[in-house]
Amino acid sequence: MFIRSLAALIALTAPLSAQEADYLGSYRWQSSDPLHGGYSSLELSEDGTRYVTVSDRGAFDTGQIIRDASGMIVEVQSDGIVPLKGIDSDDLPKYGSDSEGLAQGADGTLFVSFEGKHRIWSYASPTSRAQAVPSHPDFNALQNNSGLEALAIDAQGRLLTLPERSGDKSAPFPVYRNGGGTFGIVYRIPRSGEYLPVGMDVGPDGKLYLLERWFRGIGFSSRVRRFDLSDSGISNEVTLIETSLGSHDNLEGIAIWEDPLGIRITMISDDNFKVFQVTEFVEYRVTE
């Protein structure tokens, strides 16, 4: 209770520090379903009214986001939470159910990254069996709780992923791209401060948006950086959002979409199934 009260106090007293984006609002998402929570990633439809997310206990949640005339979230209606299936079984392998990253292809295929047994699987639908996605030798050496946190699909339909940790504070984060059936390192994102990547998306503008988290003992700070992508590398780094301690809960999923007024950033928090944390959607608009 003390932690919960302290976090609430910090959220009230600590202003947001957004450099190139305006805070639009938050929506606290509650449910009586025991599988609700732990959401680590997010995909939205082009108009921001349909969502897909995965929890770190190995489940899909899909549904509808109801918005008012101003575009603010007023209700979230789940279609139901569906446990992820394995390749040869309706159950995930033991110690292999920590699903973290999510990306959705143009044909609706869902790609999910897992920690513990570091891998990426694809799903034709939330109720289908998984199919393995070719790996990379580096994935086997990732830390147990710091694996492939984020997935995205670029403008050419190629899958991107990166680990939560780079191995050393002076080392950049490697971004792997699946082109032609195999993964290779195509970008390296410089580390900055204590933030670690937890989610990413490629927006309708073709730019890479990276969500990062800094756990500060009694709460979280979040940051969103944006990069231009090309075959020669990344460039034009811009910090769009950097929040004060406790402004939001543990934001881990990010989706970039566009409404008539411009680019929106929608994020979702992972409550870790803790009573002193919350599941919330948080939205910003890029103003740059």
DSSP 79-132: EEEEEPP-SSSSSPPTT--EEEEEEE-TTS-EEEEEETTTEEEEESSTTSPEEE
pLDDT for the residue numbered 113: 95
> For residue 168, which amino acid is it?
D
CA-closest candidate to residue 209, choices 179, 189, 186, 181: 189
Q: What is the pLDDT of residue 1?
A: 35
Of the CA atoms within 13 Å of residue 150, those in its CB half-sphere come to 30
The total of structural domains in the chain comes to 1
pLDDT the model gives residue 168 = 74
3-state secondary structure of 139: helix
SS3 assignment, position 161: strand
pLDDT score for 6? 40
- Sequence-separated (6 or more) residues with CB below 8 Å from residue 250: 213, 215, 220, 269, 270, 271, 272, 277
Q: What domain range is 180 assigned to? A: 2-286
Please write the tens of the pLDDT for every residue from 180-198.
Answer: 788 999 999 999 999 999 9
- Residues in the chain, total: 288
Residues facing 120 on adjacent strands: 113
Q: pTM here?
A: 0.92
pLDDT of residue 170: 76
pLDDT string in tens for the chain (288-residue length):
333 334 444 343 334 445 799 999 999 999 999 999 999 999 999 999 999 999 999 999 999 999 999 999 999 999 999 999 999 999 998 888 999 999 999 999 999 999 888 999 999 999 999 999 999 999 988 877 778 999 999 999 999 999 988 767 878 999 999 987 889 999 999 999 999 999 999 999 999 999 999 998 889 999 999 999 998 899 999 999 999 998 999 999 999 999 999 999 999 999 999 999 999 999 999 997
What is the rounded CA–CA span in Å between residue 174 and residue 171? Answer: 9
Which CATH number do you get for residue 37?
Answer: 2.120.10
What pLDDT score was predicted for residue 13? 36
Predicted local confidence at residue 5, as pLDDT: 38
| CA proximity to 252, closest of 201, 218, 206, 287 | 201
